[in-house]
């Protein structure tokens, strides 16, 4: 594996994302001025990443600096057999969630398969990427560009390792951030396998992040929790529901 780097990007924007500055993971996330902030990206090739950043970032890049990352000692396993995923994808999940064995991940994979066989999905925002499993699966089925965000440092690092090991580094951008980092009206599909309260906080942003008729895959909730969400009040229509062992995942579409 080549070099792994954390690239800090100082951005000036009229619409600075409300990043969770109070969280320990974001201590480095200094807001320099009301309209300036710093975002850590994870990459293996800085120049290549910089050429693609404007696709996902609102605002102007003012400054960048780098920090080399130590490789993790995770064990990389083939996913074939664990879930009927792909013969070729290999994943390490020592420091992150997303081995494909948890029902919440499997439900997302099932919905991803449905969506990617019936719709032309070019851009994906994978929120809470963990090991990067959903992003990698989507890329293996032909999605062209992915923004993968996770608030956890080690998850971002392991996701980058997995991306590099599967040679998808030119199609994905990994950022240590929450959903607010995404550029508006940019995504055909959002995947979010997260805790209920986190999902509820994010739902109002989904229609803003999605393109017209864009789709969302929401997982991490129990059947009862999902049943209580009034998707229409968030500008979304529930199109399909899948359940397994008390967990539920929904496919939603942006209304209007």
Q: Under the rule (CB under 6 A), what is the footprint of ligand SAM?
A: 96-98, 105, 108, 127-130, 133-134, 149-152, 155, 178-179, 193-194, 198, 220
Residues 6+ away with beta carbon under 8 Å from 192: 127, 128, 179, 199, 202, 216, 217, 218, 219, 220
Least distance between ligand SAM and beta carbon 130 (Å): 3
Of the pair 3, 201, the CB lying nearest ligand SAM is at 201
Least distance between ligand SAM and beta carbon 5 (Å): 20
CB 241 within 8 A of CB 252: no
Of the pair 101, 119, the CB lying nearest ligand SAM is at 101
Q: For ligand SAM, which residue has the nearest CB?
A: 128
Of the pair 25, 46, the CB lying nearest ligand SAM is at 25
Least distance between ligand SAM and beta carbon 129 (Å): 5
* CA–CA distance, 199 with 201 (Å, rounded to integer): 5
Least distance between ligand SAM and beta carbon 47 (Å): 26
| Pairing assessment for the beta strands 123-127 and 145-149 based on DSSP bridges | parallel
Residue 154 is given by DSSP the state H
Of the pair 231, 247, the CB lying nearest ligand SAM is at 247
Least distance between ligand SAM and beta carbon 256 (Å): 26
Tokens read off for 84 = 């009927």
Of the pair 3, 191, the CB lying nearest ligand SAM is at 191
| Pairing assessment for the beta strands 187-193 and 236-244 based on DSSP bridges | unpaired
CB 65 within 8 A of CB 39: no
Give phi and psi for 149, each to the nearest 5: -120, 140
């Amino acid at each position: 594996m080549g070099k792994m780097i954390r690239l800090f990007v100082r951005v000036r924007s009229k619409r600075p994302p409300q990043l969770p500055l109070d969280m320990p993971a974001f201590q480095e996330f200094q807001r320099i001025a009301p309209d300036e902030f710093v975002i850590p990206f994870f990459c293996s090739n800085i120049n290549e990443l910089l050429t693609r950043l404007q696709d996902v970032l609102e605002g102007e890049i003012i400054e960048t600096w780098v920090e080399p990352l130590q490789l993790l000692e995770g064990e990389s396993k083939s996913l074939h057999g664990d879930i009927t995923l792909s013969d070729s994808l290999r994943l390490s999940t020592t420091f992150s969630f997303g081995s494909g064995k948890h029902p919440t991940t499997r439900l997302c994979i099932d919905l991803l398969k449905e969506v990617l066989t019936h719709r032309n999905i070019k851009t994906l925002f994978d929120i809470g990427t963990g090991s990067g499993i959903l992003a990698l699966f989507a890329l293996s089925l032909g999605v062209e560009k992915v923004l993968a965000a996770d608030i956890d440092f080690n998850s971002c690092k392991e996701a980058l390792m997995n991306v590099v090991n599967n040679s998808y580094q030119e199609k994905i951008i990994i950022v240590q951030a929450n959903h607010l980092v995404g550029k508006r009206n940019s995504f055909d599909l959002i995947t979010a396998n997260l805790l209920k309260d986190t999902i509820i906080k994010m739902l109002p942003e989904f229609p803003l992040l999605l393109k017209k008729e864009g789709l969302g895959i929401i997982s991490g909730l129990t059947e009862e929790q999902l049943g209580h969400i009034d998707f229409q009040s968030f500008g979304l229509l529930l199109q399909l529901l899948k359940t397994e062992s008390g967990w539920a995942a929904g496919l939603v579409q942006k209304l209007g």
